Structure 1
Amino acid sequence: MLTTLLSLPTVLAFDVDGEGRLLVGYDGSGIRQLHEIAPDGNWRTLTELASTVRRARYIPGSRRVVIEHDSGGNELGQLSLLDLGADGLPEPVELVHDPAYLHWLIDANATRVLFSTNRRNGTDFDLVARDLETGADTVLYESSSYLATVTASPDDLWVTILVANGPGNSYQLLLVDATTKTVTELTAADAANYQDSVSWLPDSSAFIVSSDAGRDRLALRKYDVAQGTWSDLLADDAHDLAGWVCPDGEHLLVGTTDDGEISVALHKLTGEGSPVPLGLPTGGAAARSHVSPDPLWSADGSYALINYSSPIQPPSVIRYSRETGELFVVEVPDMPALPAGPAHPESHRITSFDGEQVPAFVYRPADGGDGSAVIVIHGGPEAAALRTWNPIVTALAAAGHTVVVPNVRGSAAYGKRWYSLDDKALRLDSVKDLAAIHAWLPSVGVDQDRVALWGGSYGGYMVLAGLAFQPSLWAAGVDIVGMASLTTFLANTSDYRRAVREREYGSLTEDSEFLEEASPLNRADDIEAPLLVIHGANDPRVPLSEAEQIAEALAKRDIPCQLLVYADEGHGLAKLKNRLDAYPQAFAFLAEQLASPNS
């Protein structure tokens, strides 16, 4: 079952051109490569690279495409051009290349490619426009921080930038005049608010942004450029909202997040009439990110492309017709039948140590299970577990484990108050949520002596923290690219990430005592449970040294710890061959550690 689920190919929409052609990422080869789908449905392979294609955009008015790709998962994005004019596999031509630095693709039009890069000093990001005719670069904005999201206006005269300033989970919104380079601060640098999904009106007179400024939930706000004024467009006190303006200037797609499900409806920009639901399958999320769906409109606004998945449906691309309301699912070539077993989860609220209610999804084995359980903790920490496809969760349930997927405090999609409850000195309160989950497990038929933790990135830190701070509770742990020490993680992570992560975890200079206190490595002598660690050698976020030092600490005490390192991977396992090597070993490890004493 595990091999079958891991091997199911997935597709992801990158762009759509004026003729209706689609650029999609497709991992049928085992590594996500770029493909084009013609209006008649025919597929064409565009890349056969050694690493994953991260982003791609059409260059309007031509048959050229700009792609972003890295090497071995190191996230040092390089930009190349593909000429699709001839038949066969196009040869990538270097556009912006310097393997020592990041170059992240943002946008492309007929004359320029917009990208962000840390090539000035390795830490701070600049916004750069590359002229496609002359090859000249124009720096539109120099930052002293991390650029989260950049969106150019349709007339190319303005750029909005979300900068990682202020508290954790917060972004400052800037408006840049692309001609004069004048920067206007639309929100304060120290304001505690999350903002995302900027969408411009087609005449470039205004834009819409999803923001929780002045409220607990993300709402839609509109900024009029000429007037310099804000207005509230749409809010829902119980749900996060995100919106995307249709190129017809009359309609707006609105995504609504509700306990892990993200639905989409078509609204009138004027607010007149009733919203029209797109009719996507229920129980899933129309999303590429952890917060909101990310539709792609065709140039004339006739079609929207939705990236959709659910616990019972692998990622797919759905085309929505605005005129007819028809939904068309892009057919994936050679897609095998989905094995029986995937099911939607139950939704629960678990009372934690201080009375807070922890949202959690419970995936039950079809036969009721054998009493064992695996707690799967998402990364982030300011991410969220959504109702999306996760072959690991499905396979764990198929193996007989009850799988609990919580959104512990600090998770997004449940309001600003909830995602702020683990900031800095409150970090260990999220670990206490794990103990509350453990105490609750008998209510769903789980044997508390046979429970393991599984998580990646920040979820990997939570695995190690659970084993170190609550050693009597857990039978085993699977840590994937997790942080063993918040101190060494912050000291050794990529320079460009340190300042961003310090906002969330605490500063090496100002919060060193607490960072040491909250580091599992410093409590390694308390760990009793066997551990399996998976890490990529090229990880730019959580260095391999984090995995090596926890493995070494446990080896000194003869605590079983297996470390699997993959030389061609970064922050996680992107290549199918590596997933098919690592995850079966992890499942065999859990089967041994969680086996019933009577089996």
Structure 2
Amino acid sequence: MVLLTTLLSLPTTLALDVNEEGRLLVLYDGTGTRQVNEVAPDGTWRALTDLDERCANALFVPGSRRVVVEHDSGGNERGQLSILDLDDPTLTPLVHDPRFKHYLVEATADRVLFTTNRRNGVDFDLIAHDLSTGTESVLYDGGGWAMAVNPSPDGKWVVLSLASAPANSMQLVLVDTTTRAVTELTPYDAHNDQRAVSWLPGSSEFIVASNADRDWMALRKYDVAEGTWSDLLVDDEHDLAGWVCPDAEHLLVATIDDGLVPLALHKLEDGALDGPLDLPPLGCGAQAVMMPDPIWSADGAFALLTYHSPIEPPTVYRYTLATGEVVAMRPPEMPEVPAELTHPETHRVPSFDGEQVPVFVYRPIGPDLGSTVVHVHGGPEGAAMRGWYPVVSALAAAGHTVVVPNVRGSAAYGKRWYSLDDRELRLDSVKDLAAIHAWLPSIGCDPSRAALWGGSYGGYMVLAGLAFQPSLWAAGVDIVGIASLVTFLENTSDYRRATREREYGYLATDREFLESASPLSRVDDLRAPLLVIHGANDPRVPLSEAEQITGALTKRGVPCQLLVYADEGHGLAKLTNKLDAYPQALAFLREHLS
């Protein structure tokens, strides 16, 4: 447990913004929750916020000493916007309505752009808030959930990435901020994903990662005046993403390769390779789950990167374009990372239909208990990367072999792969768990001592594995997981239901299937001991999902325990709660896998 406490307590940093003076804004969780810190050009760190709750984002107001901060309450994800003066860092409300969500998009010298669902609780509108008068104007209210918003450098255009009709798809629309005219750049009903929009300095073109008409994400360029698309960089075996340098000559490119995400510098004109960045090997430099994109300084002299790996927590690096130098921007008195941490092995597991499931295997650190924990990521369209997972390392340190799969439905392995669990194919991803179980002896593991661990959709996979494959699994740890696809869709936030039905199925037409694919429908078969961890304020998977599965098991006398944290939402964000819950989870597994 000592190593678990050490790993959970190691601070992480995430890059947010850089101003014209070279000052940085970063999120730093050394106090136990993510707070906004400023890093001066000389490397001096200063905390700007000291809230009981976590901060989600912050941006400089150019030409001033002000910063706009996005923060929520108790993990409820209803972001509120406040402003602080760097000479007196006290938060003053800017856009507050605790009933709704507000996402910070951009701060300019005279206005703040944000999206909000306050109009009807479902659709997200794009709003401009005038900093001098406090008045607001609507730039877009055409409906849909704007997953990303990317204004052009001159402020004339905004690209919205809207959740579209097929599961895991995005539609791009272009908004003229003067006339509010909306142009559809991609079809609403096309099965395409679009990520990482990056404008060229002249505001006449932008780059986007897109898998339109192909399996993998390629870099495509859109010409606003001509209204035409062209391919810039294509890799037929990997997803790509790119970020344009303000010098209009260079492009940072991320290549997602079986859980690794190296970065390289390319020529913007033709995509030709200039050379890889000198980041530590075997890690993720961009486009990893919950990590921010690279951020260029306004003059293009340097970029901020958030990098992490299995042996290094998320850390801000500064990459200097002229010299190629990459320097870690670590806070003072940063603790040492334990030397015994290791990188995983990579394998492919044959599944029931001949598909090959990518998995990462973390071997035990120290004494081998002979047991296995299969750690399933959330999503379902998320992905397990070869990145910083302190719980996985702690499980390995406790003597378990930890298998981290990217079951069908996972991102980063092509469109075909992430579509193989949509709607009526849902239980095929659960069958991948059975295939992994059958494969365990080939890596020297005892299949009779195997447990499931997962959060969010991974929590659904834990419950589904225990319910649909009761003879296979010895125990399960479910964190904010879905017990019933029906009650989840009925009780989740309205804005999420509108999107998640496209992935799981529609209550109006698919209820019978949704019930049949729900672990709760097979709860009488579930017999493995279960530990459930949930936040009381979860806006995605309501607490009622945890209560109904543990209630049903308690009535049947199946060993189960529910840990509820009153000040958390979808997962655990506060160090005090992590240090309470995760040691209990490791003790639970040790008891039931010994």
> What range describes the TM-score normalised by the shorter chain of this pair?
over 0.9
- 1:370 Cα offset (Å): 2.0
* Aligned position for 1:18: 20
| 2:435 maps to 1:433 | no
- Contact 1:308 1:316 survives alignment (8 Å): yes
Paired AA for residue 82 in structure 1: L
Q: Distance in 1 between matches of 2:514 and 2:406?
A: 23
| 2:159 maps to 1:156 | no
SS at match of 1:192: coil
Paired AA for residue 95 in structure 1: L
SS at match of 1:3: helix
SS at match of 1:92: strand
Q: Distance in 2 between matches of 1:269 and 1:25?
A: 30
What is the TM-score with the length of structure 2 in the denominator?
0.98
Q: Deviations over 1:355-380 (max 9, x none)?
A: 00000000001346221000000000
- Contact 1:78 1:98 survives alignment (8 Å): yes
- Contact 2:427 2:517 survives alignment (8 Å): yes
Q: 1:47 to 1:594 in 2, by over 3 A?
A: same
1:286-365 paired onto structure 2 within 5 Å: 286-287=285-286, 289-290=288-289, 294-365=293-364
- Contact 1:112 1:131 survives alignment (8 Å): yes
SS at match of 1:449: helix
* Aligned position for 2:10: 8
- Contact 1:341 1:394 survives alignment (8 Å): no
SS at match of 1:62: coil
Give the counterpart of 2:71 among 66, 69, 72. 69
* Aligned position for 1:506: 505
- Contact 2:253 2:263 survives alignment (8 Å): yes
Q: 1:368 to 1:259 in 2, by over 3 A?
A: farther
* Aligned position for 1:392: 391
Q: Distance in 2 between matches of 1:328 and 1:274?
A: 22
- Contact 1:455 1:478 survives alignment (8 Å): yes
Q: More deviation in 14-23 or 568-577?
A: 14-23
Structure 2: segments with no counterpart, 5+ residues:
none
- 1:165 Cα offset (Å): 1.4
| 2:125 maps to 1:126 | yes
- Contact 2:351 2:357 survives alignment (8 Å): yes
1:556-595 paired onto structure 2 within 5 Å: 556-595=555-594
Structure 1: segments with no counterpart, 5+ residues:
none
Q: 1:238 to 1:302 in 2, by over 3 A?
A: same
- 1:293 Cα offset (Å): 6.8
- Contact 1:373 1:404 survives alignment (8 Å): yes
Q: Deviations over 1:77-122 (max 9, x none)?
A: 0000011134xxx110110000001111111111111100000011
Q: Deviations over 1:487-518 (max 9, x none)?
A: 00000000010011001001000111110000
* Aligned position for 2:225: 226
Q: Distance in 2 between matches of 1:187 and 1:471?
A: 45
Q: More deviation in 499-508 or 333-342?
A: 333-342
| 2:207 maps to 1:205 | no
| 2:34 maps to 1:35 | no
Q: Distance in 2 between matches of 1:338 and 1:203?
A: 43
Q: Distance in 2 between matches of 1:177 and 1:272?
A: 29
- 1:274 Cα offset (Å): 3.3
- 1:271 Cα offset (Å): 1.9
1:191-590 paired onto structure 2 within 5 Å: 191-271=190-270, 274-287=273-286, 289-290=288-289, 294-367=293-366, 369-590=368-589
Q: Distance in 2 between matches of 1:265 and 1:594?
A: 44
Q: Deviations over 1:459-487 (max 9, x none)?
A: 00000000000000000000000000000
- 1:272 Cα offset (Å): 6.8
- Contact 1:291 1:412 survives alignment (8 Å): no
* Aligned position for 2:140: 141
- 1:292 Cα offset (Å): 8.3
- 1:134 Cα offset (Å): 1.1
Q: Deviations over 1:559-590 (max 9, x none)?
A: 01100000000000000000000000000000
- Contact 2:460 2:483 survives alignment (8 Å): yes
Q: Distance in 2 between matches of 1:214 and 1:282?
A: 32
SS at match of 2:508: coil
- 1:341 Cα offset (Å): 1.9
* Aligned position for 1:47: 49
SS at match of 2:8: helix
Paired AA for residue 358 in structure 2: P
Q: Distance in 1 between matches of 2:272 and 2:504?
A: 45
Q: 1:308 to 1:382 in 2, by over 3 A?
A: same
Q: Distance in 2 between matches of 1:583 and 1:272?
A: 45
Q: Deviations over 1:311-366 (max 9, x none)?
A: 01111001000000001101222222212321010000000000000000000013
Q: Distance in 2 between matches of 1:33 and 1:356?
A: 43
SS at match of 2:68: strand
SS at match of 1:275: strand
Paired AA for residue 161 in structure 1: L
- Contact 1:51 1:72 survives alignment (8 Å): yes
Aligned length: 592
- Contact 1:241 1:292 survives alignment (8 Å): no
- 1:288 Cα offset (Å): 5.5
Q: More deviation in 337-346 or 114-123?
A: 337-346
Q: Distance in 2 between matches of 1:193 and 1:348?
A: 28
- 1:275 Cα offset (Å): 2.5
- Contact 2:254 2:287 survives alignment (8 Å): no
- 1:273 Cα offset (Å): 5.1
- Contact 2:261 2:287 survives alignment (8 Å): no
SS at match of 1:299: coil
- 1:143 Cα offset (Å): 3.3
Q: Deviations over 1:391-411 (max 9, x none)?
A: 000000010000000000000
- Contact 2:173 2:183 survives alignment (8 Å): yes
Q: Deviations over 1:159-188 (max 9, x none)?
A: 000111110100110000000000000000
Paired AA for residue 87 in structure 2: G
* Aligned position for 1:58: 60
- 1:276 Cα offset (Å): 1.2
Q: Distance in 2 between matches of 1:290 and 1:242?
A: 14
Paired AA for residue 449 in structure 1: S
Q: Distance in 1 between matches of 2:273 and 2:382?
A: 31
SS at match of 2:425: helix
Q: More deviation in 583-592 or 358-367?
A: 358-367
Q: Deviations over 1:426-477 (max 9, x none)?
A: 0000000000000000011111110000000000000000000000000000
